[in-house]
Amino acid sequence: MDKKNKSSDIELLKRLFPVVKNYWMRLTFAMICMLGIAGTTSTIAFIFKPIIDDIFIKKDADMLRLLPLAIIGIYIIQGVFHFGQAYLMNYVGQRVIKQLRDDLYSHIQTLSLSFFSRNKTGILMSRIINDVNLVKMMVSGAITGILKDFFTVIALLFVIFYRDWKLATLAVTVLPLAVIPLVKFGRRMRSASTGCQEATADMNVLLHETFSGTRIVKIFGMEDYENKRFFQRTFRLFRNELKAVTVRAMSPSVIDLLGAIGISFIIWYGGYNVLKGTATPGTFFSFMAAVSMLFKPVRRMSVLNNTLQEGLAAAVRIYDIMDTKPEVREKENTKNIPLGSHSVTFRNVSFKYEDDLVLKNIDLRVSAGEVLALVGTSGGGKTSLVNLIPRFYDVCEGSIMIDDTDIRDITLASLRRQIAMVTQDTILFNDTIRNNIAYGNLNASEEDITRAARAAYAYDFIKALPNGFDTMAGEMGARLSGGEKQRICIARALLKNAPVLILDEATSALDTVSELAVQKALENLMKGRTTFVIAHRLSTVRSADRIVVIVKGTIVEEGEHEELLAMKGEYFKLHELQFKNDK
């Protein structure tokens, strides 16, 4: 392995060390158990000499009674050490996996919206589930096994050097040769493991997309197409798994071959010494037992090295995310602002996604309690504009002010407490209706939840559900209609009682009957709040205090409904187009 890989592996293990060291007491007892296993294993090899020489050659009856009992006792003690080591190290491994998953999930939650735009859900799921699990196998399996086998090798080396140091010197010359295939197989395993993890992540992406969009798949009759796409990904995973299997199958075989060469030489040389009379049969068999036991942990270490490489490859992918910094960050000395009525001002604001400029020199002031409608063709920048208010993204130029304070000088938590949002995409969680309404305020009273449901015109249909407020909404609210889901989202926003409200196409996906019910709920929600309304249907924004028309990232018109129609400009064109379509 090259120096760069070695140093990076050491850095990875150093980063894992603070997580593992929290359990130093259990690790200490586990190490004692490992030493006990090494000691009992070497003792078994050591007593082969008295078994052969005292029982079979000298015919010592006392030894015949004692040594079988001693062997049973040694194995009992070794069994206790095995259990202790396995339990303690697996406990540490499971705790490490929990903490690593918790830390990774918590860190992902801190990242900006742009991160989620760049990374697919299935890939993030694979990091948290599959990659972290491989790290657990490395910590509780590979590292544990390598340490245990290392201690065993040291103890057995003591036995063979004690029995015959000349023969031992010849025997251990084979051991360095075992390092060469370990390194080569380790490299191949790292590459194969990375390929497996990437293929698994890619498969998770496809599964998430097709299961979420199963209605679209079925209505367009694309089952066969999706099957082919899935089969391609499983075949890619199969090929990488096969590479890993090849490495796992070859590495112990190569180690066995090297061991066989070493043992064959020892049998020839040791047997020659016995025939010459320079060594006793007991010494030779004790030596052979220790050597044969010695090659077993060396062989296991070759297998465990593969697991170690898989874990290190997974750790690289985990820390790749952990090292990602949020693009939207809090400055030092930011302040909290109290809940209350606020104005929002855009001062010469420009914004772009990577290299695409989507907002240019926006100057706009929305007074406290004012209802502002944003209209324009799709892709004009309306949603991008409102996404800047809660700092889902940061402006490239200019500033956004809450009253007279730049939002970058306000803590993110305090800023987002001021804002409620209802979007076209109704996001509900697989939880009770009650908890979905109380999301963000789980300490809300039953009375508050009921009041919010009534104001959102949701109370009647909720009470008609089988378990009322305790009914599970299903994944993404699958058990509710579009209008029902939207009214739950409105109730959630009502309960938050934030002074700034963003409505992003909140009624565009609804039928006429549902839209009327939701519109009434929205009227309750907007009362007394500084409100931004994005709508393609101009009929829904006529009552706004002011309408702003955005075209290609710039404000081209603003005013009231009748005033804008009289201008015969962009708003008039949109109105005429919709009026003709409605006819």
- Looking at the predicted structure, is the pLDDT value of residue 435 above 80? yes
- What was the pLDDT predicted at 510? 57
List Cα–Cα distances, 49 to 167, 325, 452, 554, in angstroms.
16, 63, 85, 92
Q: Is 265 exposed, middle or buried (CB count within 10 Å of its CB: 0-12, 13-18, 19+)?
A: middle
* pLDDT, tens digit (0-9, with 9 covering 90-100), for 301-321: 766 777 777 788 888 888 888
Structure tokens at 355: 């290299």
Distance of alpha carbon 485 from alpha carbon 479, whole angstroms: 9
Q: How confident is the model at residue 400 (pLDDT cuts 50, 70, 90)?
A: very high
- Looking at the predicted structure, is the pLDDT value of residue 413 above 90? no
* Rounded (5°) CA angle 264-165-42: 80
Element (H, E) at 20: helix 3-20
Of 141-150, 181-190, 240-249, 524-533, give the lowest mean pLDDT range.
Answer: 181-190
Distance of alpha carbon 208 from alpha carbon 408, whole angstroms: 35
More confident call, 50 vs 582: 50
Other Cβ atoms within 10 Å of 379 Cβ, number: 12
Q: How confident is the model at residue 345 (pLDDT cuts 50, 70, 90)?
A: very high
Distance of alpha carbon 468 from alpha carbon 472, whole angstroms: 9
Q: What is the mean pLDDT of residues 388-392?
A: 90
More confident call, 454 vs 4: 454
Q: What is the mean pLDDT of residues 76-105?
A: 85
Q: What is the mean pLDDT of residues 174-190?
A: 66
- Looking at the predicted structure, is the pLDDT value of residue 583 above 50? no
Distance of alpha carbon 544 from alpha carbon 51, whole angstroms: 99
**Three state DSSP letters for 85-103:** HHHHHHHHHHHHHHHHHHH
Distance of alpha carbon 531 from alpha carbon 501, whole angstroms: 5
- Looking at the predicted structure, is the pLDDT value of residue 348 above 90? yes
Terminal CA-to-CA distance of the chain, rounded, Å? Answer: 74
Distance of alpha carbon 27 from alpha carbon 89, whole angstroms: 7
Q: How confident is the model at residue 363 (pLDDT cuts 50, 70, 90)?
A: very high
Structure tokens at 87: 């339990």
CB burial string 398-415: b at 16+ within 10 A, e below: bebbbeebebbbbebebb
Q: Tell me the CB-side half-sphere exposure of residue 10, using CA atoms within 13 A.
A: 7
* pLDDT, tens digit (0-9, with 9 covering 90-100), for 39-57: 888 887 777 777 777 777 7
At 574, the amino acid letter reads L
Q: Tell me the CB-side half-sphere exposure of residue 124, using CA atoms within 13 A.
A: 18
Average pLDDT, the chain: 79
- What was the pLDDT predicted at 569? 82
Q: What is the mean pLDDT of residues 284-304?
A: 69
Q: Are the beta carbons of 436 and 428 closer than 8 angstroms?
A: yes
Distance of alpha carbon 270 from alpha carbon 222, whole angstroms: 71
Q: Is 511 exposed, middle or buried (CB count within 10 Å of its CB: 0-12, 13-18, 19+)?
A: exposed
Distance of alpha carbon 229 from alpha carbon 225, whole angstroms: 6
Q: How would you list the strands of the sheet with 546-551, edge to edge?
A: 419-423, 500-504, 530-534, 371-375, 546-551, 554-559
* pLDDT, tens digit (0-9, with 9 covering 90-100), for 479-506: 888 778 888 888 888 888 888 888 887 6
Of 150-164, 353-367, 449-463, give the lowest mean pLDDT range.
Answer: 150-164
Q: What is the mean pLDDT of residues 428-455?
A: 85
- What was the pLDDT predicted at 98? 85
Of 107-111, 195-199, 323-327, give the lowest mean pLDDT range.
Answer: 195-199
Q: How confident is the model at residue 3 (pLDDT cuts 50, 70, 90)?
A: very low
- What was the pLDDT predicted at 155? 80
Considering the domain 344-582 in this protein, what is its CATH number? 3.40.50.300
Q: Tell me the CB-side half-sphere exposure of residue 454, using CA atoms within 13 A.
A: 6
Residue whose structure tokens are 């140093």? 7
Q: How confident is the model at residue 182 (pLDDT cuts 50, 70, 90)?
A: low
Q: What is the mean pLDDT of residues 371-379?
A: 85
Q: What is the mean pLDDT of residues 51-72?
A: 77
Q: Which residues lie below 8 Å from residue 405, measured CB to CB, with a gap of 6+?
A: 335, 337
Q: Are the beta carbons of 452 and 494 closer than 8 angstroms?
A: yes
Q: How confident is the model at residue 268 (pLDDT cuts 50, 70, 90)?
A: confident
Q: What is the mean pLDDT of residues 5-25?
A: 72
Main-chain phi, psi angles of 511, to 5 degrees: -75, 175
Q: Where along the chain do its domains lie? A: 3-322, 344-582
Structure tokens at 323: 């090292």
Q: How confident is the model at residue 1 (pLDDT cuts 50, 70, 90)?
A: very low
More confident call, 161 vs 1: 161
The pairing of strands 530-534 and 356-366 is unpaired
As a dihedral over the C-alpha atoms of residue 277, residue 282, residue 285, residue 287, rounded to 10 degrees, the angle is -90
Q: How confident is the model at residue 347 (pLDDT cuts 50, 70, 90)?
A: very high
Q: What is the mean pLDDT of residues 162-172?
A: 72
- Looking at the predicted structure, is the pLDDT value of residue 6 above 60? no
Superfamily of domain 3-322: ABC transporter type 1, transmembrane domain (1.20.1560.10)
Q: What is the mean pLDDT of residues 424-440?
A: 83
For residue 20, give the nearest of 89, 107, 119, 101 by alpha carbon. 89
Other Cβ atoms within 10 Å of 339 Cβ, number: 11
